Chain A
Amino acid sequence: MKELSLNILDITENSVKAGATLTTISIEEIDDKLILTITDNGCGMTDEVLKTVLNPFYTTRTTRKVGMGLPLLKLAAEQTGGSLEIDSKHVEKFPENHGTTVKTVFIKNHIDCAPLGDVVETIKTLIQGHPETDFDFIHKTNEGEVTLDTRVLRETLEGVPLNTYEVIKWIEEYLKEQYSEIQKAQKGRKRG
């Protein structure tokens, strides 16, 4: 994957596939680290599956025998000197709080760290494709935060689908506006 935002899209698709009604995507930039955490309340994985999930030859899809999503994310993190951790609770054992958390740490200034890329496109694509499920997105930097919670949007929209063209455009502009504020603050800091 050429940019981390594509890995984010890929892994979040897993959460939706697992039946999550809420997936939280958190990007935290602290010093030289970028910490990406994707948490969902989907069906989760049993301990046996958790042991093999990072194996590229393990997949739940039936069309092919390889599942590259998580192995690719792990590679992307480890080649920067970072790490990937997965924790999961299967619905049968944990009927009240099932789900999966994938936490990845990237060392930003490592030469092999892929660019974060177009996160706005990723969020847009997720909501466009899965308007019935909720996403809570937060990107924290030193200069401020970018957030979007589809639950809040859903309340306002009262039944209008989130993948209605005008709504998707609004979401795109809302996110770009927040990023623009942060970029201005970052430029200001560098000059000062």
Chain B
Amino acid sequence: MKSLAELQAIKEKMKNKVILREGTNDTRVVVGMATCGIAAGARPVLNALVEEVNALGLTENVTVSQTGCIGICEFEPVVEVFEAGKEKVTYVKVDVEKAKKIAKEHLKEGNVVAEYVIKA
């Protein structure tokens, strides 16, 4: 049975780790979660990114968050990657499989997945 004691254990564990959240966010991954995004399937994409970031051991430098309407509704689900010192990368029509590939190739290995990026 899940219990609050388990949450307390998580708390103790986290307090011993140095949480580098403030200021050093090297990479921010933002998923569009407005009505257009949700209807197009952004919820599983967000969850896949959260899982992959954790599985690939990237939680110290990568944060995954949500945003409202980005304005390109027909291209939803949209995932934007902001890296310090680099230009924003906008991935469009993302699904769970693409999200996993983006996590592995771009977030982990640093190579933008050009075929999923929005065309100018």
Residues in chain A within 8 A of chain B (CB atoms): 1, 6, 9-10, 13, 17, 61, 63-64, 67-69, 72, 121-122, 124-125, 128-130, 152-153, 156-158, 160-161, 164-168, 170, 173-174, 177
Return the chain B residue nearest A128 by Cβ. Answer: B50
With contacts A9-B43, A168-B50, A177-B2 known, is A156 near B71, CB below 8 A?
no
- Give the interface of B toward A (CB within 8 A): 1-2, 4, 6-8, 10-11, 13-15, 21, 33-36, 38-39, 43-44, 46-47, 50, 54, 59, 64-66, 68-71, 73
Task: Tell me if A's interface is mostly helix, strand, loop or mixed.
Answer: helix
- Indicate the member of A125, A158, A170 with the most B CB atoms within 10 Å: A125
A177 contact set on B, CB distance < 8 A: 1-2
Q: Tell me whether B50 and A165 are in contact (CB under 8 A).
A: yes
Report B37 CB to chain A, min CB distance, Å.
9
Q: Is the CB of A125 within 8 A of B35?
A: no
Residues of B close to A9: CB separation below 8 A: 33, 38, 43
Q: Given contacts A160-B14, A166-B10, A170-B2, are A6 and B39 in contact (CB under 8 A)? A: yes
Q: State which of A64, A125, A152, A161 has its C-beta within 8 Å of the C-beta of B33.
A: A125
Q: Which of B2, B35, B66 contacts A173 (CB 8 A)?
A: B2
Give Cα A192 to B86, complex, Å: 63
Closest approach, in angstroms, between the C-beta of A129 and any C-beta of chain B? 4
CB pair A128–B46 under 8 Å, yes or no, is yes
In the complex, the answer to whether B10 meets A1 with C-beta atoms within 8 Å is no
Q: Given the complex, which residues of A lie within 8 Å of B66, measured CB to CB? A: 125, 128-130
Residue of B nearest to A181 (CB): B1
Nearest residue in B to A167 (C-beta to C-beta)? B10
Contact B11 A160 (CB under 8 A): yes
Known: A128-B46, A177-B1. A158 touches B35 (CB 8 A): no
